[in-house]
Amino acid sequence: MTEKLVLHEYAVSGNCYKVRLTAALLKLPLERREYDIMKGETRTPDFLSKVNANGRIPVLQVGNRFIPESNAACYYLAAGSGLIPTDRFDDADMLRWMFWEQYNHEPNIATLRFWMGWVGPDNLTDAQRLQVPAKREAGNAALKLMEEHLSARDWFVAGHMTLADICLFAYTHVADDADFGLADYPHVTSWIDRVRNQPNFVPMDA
C-alpha cells in the first residue's frame, strides 16, 4: 500500500476498533485522528463537506480519498490478504456475516452499549427508552445465533480467521458493557479468546 492511511475515529467505538484491528493484524501503518462525537465533532460543516457527508466515523482516508463505513474500510485494508478467503463462496459468506453484523448485531448491541455507557440510562429520550427491550431481545438473538454457529466451528467462515471474525468481535467482546451476559454464550467466549490470541492482536484501548 503506497498511499498514506489515516483513520478518522472515536477510539472507544467498536466500528473504529474494527479498522484498527484489521490494520494491526496486517501490520499496516495507520495514522489516527480523534473526533469527540459527544461534542458533535463529526457534524461540523468542514467534516460533512470534506470527510463524510453522513456525519459519522470511522472513515478511512486513503491518500486524499475517503471510505466511510467500517466494514468497507476493513475490506479495503484486507484486500489480497489472508483475512479475505480466496474461494468465491467463502468470500460471499464472509460478506454475509459482515452485512448481518451491521443489520442484526451492531444496531442492537452497540446501540445499547452507547445508550447505557455514554448517553446514560437516565438521559434516554422516551423514544429510545421504548426501544430498549426490543434491542435487548434482538441483541440476545444475535448472540444466540453466533453461539450456535460457533458450536460447530472455530471461525465464522473458511476454517480460518477472516474479516467476519474481526467485524463481529468488535462489539461482541464488549457486549457485557450493555449487560448482555456473555457467560451465557460459552462458544462465543472461547472464540473471543481465539481472536485475542492471534499474532499482532491489539486491544480496543491500545
Ligand X SMILES: N[C@@H](CCC(=O)N[C@@H](CS)C(=O)NCC(=O)O)C(=O)O
Minimum Å gap between C-beta 194 and ligand X is: 23
Cβ proximity to ligand X: between 42 and 172 the closer is: 42
* Residue 43 touches ligand X, criterion: CB under 6 A: yes
Of 7-15, 77-85, 133-141, 142-150: span binding ligand X (CB under 6 A) = 7-15
Minimum Å gap between C-beta 91 and ligand X is: 19
**Nearest residue to ligand X on Cβ basis:** 56
Task: Using CB under 6 A, pick the residue from 22, 61, 70, 162 that binds ligand X.
Answer: 70
Q: Are 204 and 12 in contact (CB under 8 A)?
A: yes
Which residues, in sequence order, are bridge partners of residue 172?
Answer: none
* Residue 107 touches ligand X, criterion: CB under 6 A: no
- The 3-state DSSP composition of the chain as helix, strand, coil percent (nearest 5) reads 55, 10, 35
* Residue 204 touches ligand X, criterion: CB under 6 A: no
- For 24, the grid coordinates are 494491526
Minimum Å gap between C-beta 54 and ligand X is: 8
Q: Are 128 and 115 in contact (CB under 8 A)?
A: yes
Indicate the SS3 state at residue 177: helix
Question: For 140, left (φ over 0), alpha (ψ -120 to 50), or beta?
Answer: alpha
Name the packing angle between helices 163-172 and 126-150 (round to 10°): 130
* Residue 164 touches ligand X, criterion: CB under 6 A: no
Q: Are 171 and 12 in contact (CB under 8 A)?
A: no
Alpha helices in 55-125 (DSSP H): 70-78, 88-100, 111-114
* Residue 37 touches ligand X, criterion: CB under 6 A: yes
* Residue 56 touches ligand X, criterion: CB under 6 A: yes
* Residue 69 touches ligand X, criterion: CB under 6 A: yes
Judged by CB under 6 A, how many residues of this single chain contact ligand X?
14
* Residue 172 touches ligand X, criterion: CB under 6 A: no
* Residue 119 touches ligand X, criterion: CB under 6 A: no
Binding site for ligand X (CB under 6 A): 10, 13, 15, 37, 42-43, 55-58, 69-71, 102
